[in-house]
Chains A and B, each alone.
Chain A
Amino acid sequence: MYAFDYQKAKSVADAAAALAKNPDAKALAGGQSLIAAMKLRLAAPQALVDLGSIAELRGIKADGKHLVIGAMTRHSEVVFSGDVKKAIPALAHLAGEIGDRMVRNMGTLGGSIAHNDPAADYPAAVLGLGATVETNKRKVAADDFFKGIYETALEPGELVTSVSFPIPKRAGYVKFKQPASRFALVGVFVAETGSGVRVAVTGASPCVFRVPEMEKALASKFAPESVANIKLPAKGLNSDIHASPEYRAHLVTVMAKRAVQAALG
C-alpha cells in the first residue's frame, strides 16, 4: 500500500466538498474492494474520504411500499434487519450470501453498487427490484444506474446516499458461488412487483443485466418451468478459469429456475 491522506467526513456535504476539491481522492465506504486493491498496489488514491461516520447514510426504513436502505448500511445489518426480513426476505438472504462474516460486517450497500463489480450480489437486487438509487444530487432508476464493468451513472464527486427498494409481491435470489472468492459465478434475482416481473443476472457478463424473455414468460406464469427452457446465448458472457461462457449461460437458466422456486417459498 502506498501512503495516502485520510479524511473522516462529517456529513455528505462535507464528503462531497472534499472529493470535489481533490480529483485524486476516493470515497471510502466499507473498503472491502478498495482497501484490498490498495494493499496490492493496484489502486493508489492520493487521499481517502471516509464515509464511515456519517450517520445520515446509515439505517433502514420501511413504509409499507418502499424499503429505504442508507448507503453506508453494512451487509450484516441488512441480514439481521427485521424490517428487511419482513418486507423483502430475498434481500436479507442476498446480503447473507455476500463474502464471509467479516466482509459482511464491513461492506456496505452503497460501496457495492458504486463499485459495480461484475460479480457482486447487490446490483442484481437493485436491478431486479427496480430500485431507485438516491445520490447527493439526484435520483437514478436502477435501469439507468449500472453502465458497464465497474462503471455506473455516478459522476465525479457524486455519492450514493440510499437505495429505495419497492416492496415486491415476492422475490428470490439464488447464486452459484465461484468457489474461491465466493462472488457470484452466476446469480439471478427474480421479483414479481406491482409493475411486472423482473429478472436480473449478475456474474455472467461484464455488467448486471435483465432477461426480458424470462420476464415475459414469468409474467404469464410465475413458475420455475416457465424459464426452464429459456437459454441465453453464450456469446459475450464472461470467460475465466472458473467458468466458460457456455457454462455461465447454462447456469443462468438453472439459477433463474431456482430463484423462482425460492420466491414461491
Chain B
Amino acid sequence: MFVRSPHAHARIRKVDLAKAAKAPGVLAVYTGEDIAKAGINGLPCGWLITDVNGQPMKEPPYPVLAQGKARYVGDRVAVVIAETYNQAKDAAERVEVDYEVLPAVVDAAAARKQGAPAIHDIAPDNTCYVWALGDKAKVDDAFKAAAHVTKLEFVNNRLIPNAIEPRSAIGAYSRADDNYTLYVTSQNPHVERLLMTAFVLGLPEHKVRVVAPDVGGGFGSKIYLYGEDVVVTWASRQVNRPIKWTAERVESFMSDAHGRDHVTTAELALDKDGKFLAMRVHTAANLGAYLSTFASCIPTILYATLLAGQYTTPQIYCEVTAVFTNTAPVDAYRGAGRPEATYVVERLVETAAREMKIDPAEIRRRNFIKSFPYQTPVALMYDTGDYQATLDAALKLGDVAGFAKRKEEAAKRGRLRGLGYSCYIEACGIAPSNVAGALGARAGLFEAGEVRVHPTGKVTVFTGSHSHGQGHETTFAQVVASRLGIPVEDVDIVHGDTSKILFGMGTYGSRSLAVGGTAIVKAVDKVIAKGRKIAAHLMEAAEADVEFAEGVFKVSGTDKQVPFAQVALTAYVPHNYPLDKLEPGLNENAFYDPTNFTFPAGSYVCEVEVDPETGRTTIESFVAVDDFGKVINPMIVAGQVHGGLTQGIGQALLEGCRYDPETGQLVTGTMSDYCLPRAGDVPSFRLDTRETPCTHNPLGVKGCGEAGAIGAPAALINAITDAIGVREVPMPATAETVWRALASQKAA
C-alpha cells in the first residue's frame, strides 16, 4: 500500500513511521529516504528533446518515492508492506507525514507566469523545453501574402486512460538463485526490465524476469516504468517475500499517466481559392509533475510532424513549450500527439472552409496530397495513400448528399443537425531506430520474433509485441499459418515474458503487426528457407528446384513433394539429413527495424443533433473509412476502430480531467465525476476500408489501433459547431458548454 500525497505541492518536513511499523501485520515501511540510501535512482526519460537554443531539456529527478517534496496529489510518499492488503491500508493511515503545503499550479499557462511556484529546482520557470520545427521566416512570409487567415485557439483536454484492469505488480525474489521476478501489467516487459535494471536498480538484467501476461487494457498508460513496479521488486528482497500491489480505481485516476493537455493557438494561411499556403502553431504542453518515460516526445516528435495532415501545405512552423505542473505525469495515451495534431489541422481546415464559403469536402480535395512518396515540410515521408478515395467512400457511406433533407427534418422536431468531417493521418509502426535516435530516442525501436517449429510440424511463435486486448494471438497466428500453409490451430503465439521471448520493444503506436508482425514473417521466411534445404535433401533435388506453397515442398515440374510436417520431423530426427552442411532443428529468430513509419489515414463523417433547449448533443451517425493498408483480420480491425472512435467521442463529448486551480486537488477522481463513454453514448458505427498497401513491409500493413481516437474528436466538434453555427466549442462539449455557446451566439 502506497501512502500518497494529499497535497498538490508540499515540502515533506518529516515522515514518522513508528506507529505504522508497529501496526498489526506490518513487515516493512519505506520512505524516499530509504530509497535514496539503497542507491536506487530515479525513473529515466526515454527521449531527449533538444530545445530551440540547442540545450538539452530539463530533466528533474523522478524518484520512485518522493524525496523532500511531493509534487502532485497522488505522488508516492511511502510504502507499507504487510501480511494482508487491509493491514497495509490500516497501517498506511498511521504513517504521519509533516507537510509544509506550498502553492500549487496545475495548468501550463499559469505555470509559465512570473511568480508561479517552481516545482523543480533545475527548472525555476517550470519550463522543460521550448522546441520548434519548421522554417519560421518562410511561414511568416507566407502569412503576409495570404488572401485569408483562419485562427483558432483551443484546449486539447487532459484525459485519464482508465484501462479496465488497474495497474498491478508482484515482485518476488528468490534467494536460491538470486533472481527477481516481476509480474506486472506492462505493455512492454523487456523495456520495463531494461529501464528498471540498467537505470534504476542497477541489477544485472539477466537476474530479473518480467512477466506481463494477458493485461486488461493499457491505451498507452502501461508503457511506462512506474515507481510502484520498482518498489515491489526491490522490497521483495528486503522482506524476502513476494509483494503484491494493485491500484485501487482512485489510485488509477490520480497516478496513471494522463494524456493530451495542450493549449494551442493555430493559424492557417490560404490563397483566394482555398489552397493552403502555410500553417503556424503554438502549443503549450502540460507534462505534469515529472517526466514520464516517453513524455517528452509526445507533444513534439509525435505531434508537430503530423501537422501536414493529408495536405500539401508547403510551409509549417510549430513551436512547443513543455511545462511542469503539480499534476499527474502526462504521457502517450491512445494516439499520443497525433490526435492533438489532427484536431489542429481538421478544425482549422473545416473552419477555413466555412469562413471562405467553400464546401468542407471540396477544400480538402483541393489540398490533398495526390502523388507519393511525398515529403512533408515537417520531416515525414509519406509512402502511399489515396485520400480522395477514403473521402469519396465516406461521403457515400454517410449519404452526405441527403444531409440537407435530414437537417430540415430535424429542425421540424426542434433539433439542430450538424455535419463534420475529419480527414486524419497518423505515423505508426514507430520507427526506424536510426531516425528515432537522431531525434533523441534513447532506445531502439525494432521488434523481435522467434518461430519455433516442433517435430510434429506444430509451431510456437514468440513475439516481442505485447497483447493487452489487441488479439495478436489471432492475427499473428493467421499470418504465420497462411505463410506456412498450415492450419491456424497449429500455431500458438507467446508474448509477455522476458524469460521466453528473446527480446521485444512492446506494443504502442499501432506498431505490432507492422513491426512485430514483420519480424515474425522474416523468421518464418528463414524457416521456409531452411526447410527448402531439408526438403531438397529428402527429395534428392537441387535446392533451387524446390518450391514451397500451401504447406508442401515440391520439386518444380515433377510430382515429388514432402509436406511441411515431414520436413519438421526430419529436422529433429535427422537420420536422412545433410548433417555435414546443415544443423538439425527448425527454429529461427528475426529482428526487424522498419525503414519508415507507416501512414494510416482515413476520412470520418459525423452527424449530430443538438437539443437547443438543453445543449445536449446526440450522435446520429458516424462513418469511418480507414486505409490501414492490407487488412489481416477484418473483425479485429473493426473492433479496434470501434474502441478508438468511442475513446475519441469520449474526449470530444464527455471526458475531461479537472484539477482545482487553487488547491491542485483532482476533482474528477472517480467514475461518478469523470465521464467515460458508455454503449448508449455512441451510435452504431458504419465502417469501411480502402487499401493502399504499405510499401516497405512485406505484409503491406499500416496499423489500426489508434485511428479512431485520432480522427474522431475533430469530426464531432466540427459537426457540433456546424449544428449550432459557432466557430468554436471547447472539449468536452458537455450540454452546458454547448448551451452556453448557443446563448452567446444568440446574444451576438
Residues of A participating in the B interface, judged by any CB pair closer than 8 Å: 1-3, 40, 176, 179-181, 183, 241-244, 247, 250-251, 254
Contact = CB atoms under 8 A, between A and B. Distances in A.
A241 B673 contact: yes
5 closest A-B pairs by beta carbon, nearest first, are A180-B675, A181-B672, A247-B736, A179-B675, A254-B613
B667 interface: yes
Contacts of A183: 672
Contacts of A242: 673, 734, 736
A247 B671 contact: no
11 contacts: A1-B86, A40-B250, A179-B654, A180-B671, A181-B673, A242-B673, A242-B734, A242-B736, A247-B739, A250-B739, A254-B613
Interface in B703-748: 734-736, 739-740
A97 to B, nearest CB: 13
Which of B250, B654, B735 is the most central at the interface, judged by chain A CB atoms within 10 Å of its CB?
A: B735
B734 A179 contact: yes
B614 A180 contact: no
Interface in B680-699: 681
Nearest to A186: B614
Contact of B658 (A2, A241, A247, A254): A241
Which of B250, B674, B736 is the most central at the interface, judged by chain A CB atoms within 10 Å of its CB?
A: B736
Q: Secondary structure at chain A's binding surface: helix, strand, loop or mixed? A: loop
Contacts of B740: 247
A115 to B, nearest CB: 15
Given A180-B672, A241-B658, 6 more contacts: A40-B250, A176-B614, A179-B675, A180-B676, A247-B736, A254-B614
Contacts of B90: 2
Contacts of B672: 180-181, 183
Interface in B43-89: 86
Given A180-B671, A181-B672, A244 B736 contact: yes
Contacts of B668: 241
Contacts of A40: 250
A243 B736 contact: yes
A82 B623 CA distance: 42
Nearest to B93: A41
A183 B736 CA distance: 16
Contacts of B676: 180
A102 to B, nearest CB: 13
Contact of A241 (B616, B654, B667, B735): B667
A243 B739 CA distance: 11
A243 B673 CA distance: 12
A244 B615 CA distance: 14
A241 B659 CA distance: 10
A15 B512 CA distance: 60
A174 to B, nearest CB: 11
B675 A251 contact: no
B250 A251 contact: no
A170 B14 CA distance: 65
Contacts of B654: 179-180
Nearest to B611: A254
A244 B674 CA distance: 17
Nearest to A100: B678
Contacts of A244: 736
Contacts of B674: 180
Contacts of B250: 40
Contacts of A241: 658, 667-668, 673
A251 B673 contact: no
Nearest to B660: A241
Which of B654, B658, B674, B675 is the most central at the interface, judged by chain A CB atoms within 10 Å of its CB?
A: B675
Nearest to A181: B672
B455 to A, nearest CB: 51
Nearest to B613: A254
A40 B253 CA distance: 14
B253 to A, nearest CB: 12
A241 B658 CA distance: 8
Contacts of A243: 736
Contacts of B613: 254
Nearest to A254: B613
Nearest to B676: A180
Contacts of A250: 739
Given A241-B668, A251-B614, A254-B613, A180 B673 contact: yes
Nearest to B89: A41
A177 to B, nearest CB: 10
A242 B604 CA distance: 29
Contacts of A176: 614, 616, 735
Nearest to A253: B613
A247 B735 CA distance: 9
Contacts of A3: 86
Contacts of A179: 654, 675, 681, 734-735
Contacts of B735: 176, 179, 247
B166 to A, nearest CB: 14
Nearest to A247: B736
A251 B613 CA distance: 8
Contacts of B681: 179
A180 B674 CA distance: 6
A10 to B, nearest CB: 30
A82 B404 CA distance: 44
B250 to A, nearest CB: 7
Contacts of B734: 179, 242
A69 to B, nearest CB: 27
A184 to B, nearest CB: 13
Interface in B590-618: 613-614, 616
Which of B614, B658, B676 is the most central at the interface, judged by chain A CB atoms within 10 Å of its CB?
A: B614
Nearest to B675: A180
A57 B676 CA distance: 36
Nearest to A183: B672
A229 to B, nearest CB: 13
A251 B734 CA distance: 14
Contacts of B673: 180-181, 241-242
A37 B321 CA distance: 41
B734 to A, nearest CB: 7
A251 B614 CA distance: 7
A183 B670 CA distance: 14
Interface in B621-665: 654, 658
A47 B251 CA distance: 27
A183 B667 CA distance: 17
A183 B672 CA distance: 9
B657 to A, nearest CB: 11
Which of A3, A181, A183 is the most central at the interface, judged by chain B CB atoms within 10 Å of its CB?
A: A181
Nearest to A3: B86
A247 B738 CA distance: 11
A242 to B, nearest CB: 8
B664 to A, nearest CB: 15
A3 B671 CA distance: 25
A181 B86 CA distance: 27
Nearest to A39: B248
Contacts of B614: 176, 251, 254
A215 to B, nearest CB: 22
Nearest to A257: B613
Contacts of B671: 180-181
Contacts of B658: 241
Nearest to A1: B86
A156 to B, nearest CB: 28
A247 B616 CA distance: 12
A40 B671 CA distance: 13
A213 to B, nearest CB: 20
B713 to A, nearest CB: 17
B582 to A, nearest CB: 62
A251 B671 CA distance: 23
Which of A3, A183, A242 is the most central at the interface, judged by chain B CB atoms within 10 Å of its CB?
A: A242
Which of A3, A40, A247 is the most central at the interface, judged by chain B CB atoms within 10 Å of its CB?
A: A247
Contacts of A181: 671-673
Contacts of B86: 1, 3
A176 B654 CA distance: 15
A254 to B, nearest CB: 5
